[in-house]
Amino acid sequence: MKKPYKMSPLGDSSVLIQFGDRMDELSHRLVMEAVRWLDAGRFPGYIECVPAFASVAVHYSPIQVLRSLDGEERMRETVYETVCYRVEKLLVHIDAVTESDSEMKNVRTVAIPVCYGGEYGPDLEEVAAICGRSAAEVVRLHSDADYLVYMIGFAPGFPYLGGMPEEIAAPRRGTPRAVIPAGSVGIAGGQTGVYPLATPGGWQLIGRTPIKLFRPDADAPSFLQAGDRVRFFPITEEEFLSWKDNESVDGLR
Amino acid sequence: MGIIVVKPGVLATIQDLGRYGYQNQGVVVGGSMDQTAARIANWLVGNDESEALLELTLAGTELRMEREAWIAIAGGDMEPITGQGEKVPQWRPVRVDAGTTIRFGRSVNGCRAYVALAGGIDGEMRLGSRSTYLRGGIGGYDGRALRAGDRIEARNEPAKFAVSRLAESQSGSLRFPLWHAGGFAVAHSDVAVIRWMPGAHYDWLSEEGQSAFGDGTFRIGRQSDRMGYRLEGEGRLGQHVRKGELLSEPVTIGTIQLPPDGNPIILMADRQTTGGYPRIGHVATVDLPVLAQLKPGDRLQLQRVTSMEAEKLLIEAEREMTMLGKAIELKLNG
């Protein structure tokens, strides 16, 4: 069976494993499956792997790999080739993931409370105007959809979400804001996301969550993980202000 | 064992060799920019190379030793002197008397100096590292850059040194050996040569773009920092790159991205974990310490190598580092 991926060097200390060049659920499933095998099989010199939409990077220490060569591996000309060989051995079962596997195992669904509009979502009315809908409809469409966390990147805990309805797509703001408060829920083009930290940014802000997405004291500092399913649900300003972070959301999972 | 920050200078932070294992959560690796200098500085005071130390940037730092201590300064040359005006020798262990002030001037060679303290510097350990992650506000000294008045402590009891043998020479409040590891300092040159290999989107550049990039001399742009270096050249690469949308993919230290404005960005220690710009190349890991010592305005010339050559260069450099580490250990423990 043909390998469902190709490998290429990402510099001299990482290898990029690509499953495709599009954002789709099949590539995503292959990526998540690869991460599982790589993390379970961490070979000597393996540092960590980083999943993205349709690819995974394996970061390694060439020196550690070199010090751990065994038997037939010595025949390979470069450390890179040895790493590719070790990766291929770990991913030998990855073909098993096909489109017929409609459901992924161990999927977690996380519900995220959002206070839409007002001072928490100053661009909600503008997004509604751009889309030719009422603010209430934008909120309903945004909170009725099922989202998939394809990857975490850009900032600690920042989820790249797929699944936003096209009806509420809206271009970035002409002038970015100097500071976007942590927890802001925004729309940029066909994407929606939540800002884990206060940063500058050009997204249209439609609401804010009281949930902390970056938790540096937790074992998993990112509240969301690649592969999670996400739902947003509206809360009032009072609920926002009195939200008790952890217990209530865990209860909704 | 305290060091008081009298003046932080342009930017002073606590760093170690980086925060690994959390890139899948969007947490940057960080760590010392010039890891060669950082590792050597730690070795010189008997520390494990992974201990935290101070990274000073460009100019203006002033430190005061509350107690007598062994320190080592390596990396960029900021011509450190004591309050009494004695030169503080670099790239070797130096015993500093209590009450001594050390002033770092404007860097005459390089951009970043490392100060290691025997016993290691005690910084806040977060997610497996003491490195300061400025944007995330964690690690090091309360997750922030050092300020005047901060007190830095040693983490462990310092290694026992054969003081009589190491303190061969004396200058005012300083004692130090005559040997040093200065041969590992990045050599000063008008144009630094940085070796690189093509990346996945190198062929997005037209032939003209490829020659403008590969043979070009670049200047390090003003907006260069621990996250990334902007390269400014005469050739406008933006005109010679294919337009297209890319999915965000993982990136790494040394990745050379080409944003639409045509000025390449080399990703450095505090880089994001993923990126969506074309990756036209990668700097050879072996030359990252050289790059880390370039400052805004400095010039560099790119020199193309294959990834196999880059790997060999790295392995060779690491062999020399291993030998140096052993030599220093022998000198310290005799």
Which residues from chain B sit within 8 angstroms of residue A149, using beta carbons?
A: none
Which residue of B49, B249, B271, B322 is the best one to mutate when testing the A interface, meaning the one whose CB has the most A CBs within 10 A?
Answer: B249
Domain ranges in chain A are 6-96, 109-252
pLDDT value of residue A101: 54
pLDDT at B262 > cutoff 90 = no
Distance CA B111, CA B86 (A): 22
ipTM score: 0.94
Q: How many CB atoms lie within 10 A of CB A130?
A: 16
Read off the pLDDT of each residue in B24-43 and give the average, rounded to a whole number. 97
* Beta strand B279-283 pairing with B255-257: antiparallel
Backbone angles phi, psi at B222, to 5 degrees: -65, -40
Residues 6 or more apart whose CB falls under 8 angstroms from that of A136 comprise: none
User: Of B26, B137, B272, which is closest to A222 when you measure between CB atoms?
Assistant: B26
pLDDT value of residue A252: 45
pLDDT value of residue A253: 41
| Cross-chain residue pair B24–A35, CB shorter than 8 Å | yes
pLDDT value of residue A246: 57
Distances (CA, A) of A218 to A160, B7, B18, B270: 21, 34, 18, 21
Read off the pLDDT of each residue in B244-263 and give the average, rounded to a whole number. 89
Could you tell me which chain A residue has the CA closest to the CA of B196?
A: A11
Q: Any CB–CB contact under 8 A between A48 and chain B?
A: yes
Which residue of A5, A12, A16, A160 is the best one to mutate when testing the B interface, meaning the one whose CB has the most B CBs within 10 A?
Answer: A12
pLDDT value of residue A3: 84
**Does the domain formed by A6-96 have CATH 3.10.450.50?**
no
Contact B170, B84 (CB under 8 A): no
Q: Distance from A217 to chain B by nearest Cα, in Å? A: 7
Distance CA A113, CA A100 (A): 33
pLDDT at B268 > cutoff 80 = yes
Buried-state track B64-88, b at ≥16 Cβ within 10 A, e below 16 = bbeeebbbbbbbbbbbbebeeebeb
pLDDT value of residue B229: 95
pLDDT tens, residue by residue, B213-227: 887 889 999 989 999
In whole angstroms, what separates CA B1 from the centre of its chain?
25
Residue B190 CB-density burial (10 A; 0-12 exposed, 13-18 middle, 19+ buried): exposed
| Cross-chain residue pair B307–A80, CB shorter than 8 Å | yes
pLDDT at B36 > cutoff 60 = yes
- Those of residues 113-142 in A touching chain B at CB distance below 8 A are none
Residues 6 or more apart whose CB falls under 8 angstroms from that of B32 comprise: B15, B16, B17, B18, B38, B53, B55, B114, B131, B269
- Crossing angle of the two packed helices A25-41 and A79-90, in degrees rounded to 10: 110
Q: Any CB–CB contact under 8 A between A56 and chain B?
A: yes
| Cross-chain residue pair B282–A10, CB shorter than 8 Å | yes
pLDDT at B233 > cutoff 70 = yes
Which among B68, B73, B130, B58 has a CA at the least distance from the CA of B99?
B68
pLDDT tens, residue by residue, B188-202: 788 999 999 999 999
Distance CA B11, CA B104 (A): 12
Buried-state track A57-83, b at ≥16 Cβ within 10 A, e below 16 = bbbbbbbebbeeeeeebeeeebbbbbb
- Report chain B residues touching chain A, CB-CB < 8 A: 20-28, 126-127, 135-138, 197, 199-200, 247-255, 272-274, 279, 282-285, 307-308, 310-311, 314-315, 318
pLDDT tens, residue by residue, B90-141: 999 999 999 999 999 999 999 999 999 999 999 999 999 999 999 889 999 9
Which residue of B129, B144, B268, B311 is the best one to mutate when testing the A interface, meaning the one whose CB has the most A CBs within 10 A?
Answer: B311
Read off the pLDDT of each residue in B317-333 and give the average, rounded to a whole number. 94
| Cross-chain residue pair B25–A225, CB shorter than 8 Å | yes
Tell the residue number behind the tokens 């936003």, with chain if given: A164
User: Of B27, B127, B315, which is closest to A66 when you measure between CB atoms?
Assistant: B315
pLDDT at B249 > cutoff 50 = yes
Low-confidence ranges of chain A (pLDDT < 70): 1, 96-106, 245-253
pLDDT at B14 > cutoff 80 = yes
Q: Where are the alpha helices (DSSP H) in A93-189?
A: 124-131, 135-144
pLDDT tens, residue by residue, A154-163: 889 999 999 9
User: Of A12, A48, A52, which is closest to B314 when you measure between CB atoms?
Assistant: A12
Structure tokens at A36: 């599982």
| Cross-chain residue pair A152–B283, CB shorter than 8 Å | no
| Cross-chain residue pair B315–A62, CB shorter than 8 Å | yes
Backbone angles phi, psi at B275, to 5 degrees: -155, 160
- Crossing angle of the two packed helices A79-90 and B307-333, in degrees rounded to 10: 100
**A250, HSE (Cβ side, Cα atoms, 13 Å):** 4
Contact B61, B7 (CB under 8 A): yes
Residues 6 or more apart whose CB falls under 8 angstroms from that of B122 comprise: B52, B130, B152, B153, B154, B155
pLDDT value of residue A96: 65
Could you tell me which chain A residue has the CA closest to the CA of B311?
A: A12
Contact B198, B304 (CB under 8 A): yes
Ordered domains of chain B (ranges, CATH) = 2-186 (no CATH), 191-314 (2.40.100.10)
Read off the pLDDT of each residue in B277-285 and give the average, rounded to a whole number. 95
Q: Which residue has the higher pLDDT, B23 or A22?
A: B23
Residues composing chain A: 253
Contact B139, B129 (CB under 8 A): yes
Distance CA B274, CA A31 (A): 15
Q: Any CB–CB contact under 8 A between A147 and chain B?
A: no
In whole angstroms, what separates CA B295 from the centre of its chain?
12
- Those of residues 197-226 in A touching chain B at CB distance below 8 A are 197, 199, 214, 216-217, 220-222, 225-226
Tell the residue number behind the tokens 């596997």, with chain if given: A101
Q: Distance from A208 to chain B by nearest Cα, in Å? A: 19
Report which residue type is found at B13.
T
Distance CA A223, CA B216 (A): 44
Q: Which CATH architecture has domain A109-252?
A: Beta Barrel (2.40)
| Cross-chain residue pair A66–B27, CB shorter than 8 Å | no
Distance CA B267, CA B254 (A): 5
pLDDT value of residue A250: 45
Q: Distance from A158 to chain B by nearest Cα, in Å? A: 7
Q: Above pLDDT 70, what percent of chain B?
A: 99
Residue A32 CB-density burial (10 A; 0-12 exposed, 13-18 middle, 19+ buried): buried
Q: Distance from B28 to chain A by nearest Cα, in Å? A: 8
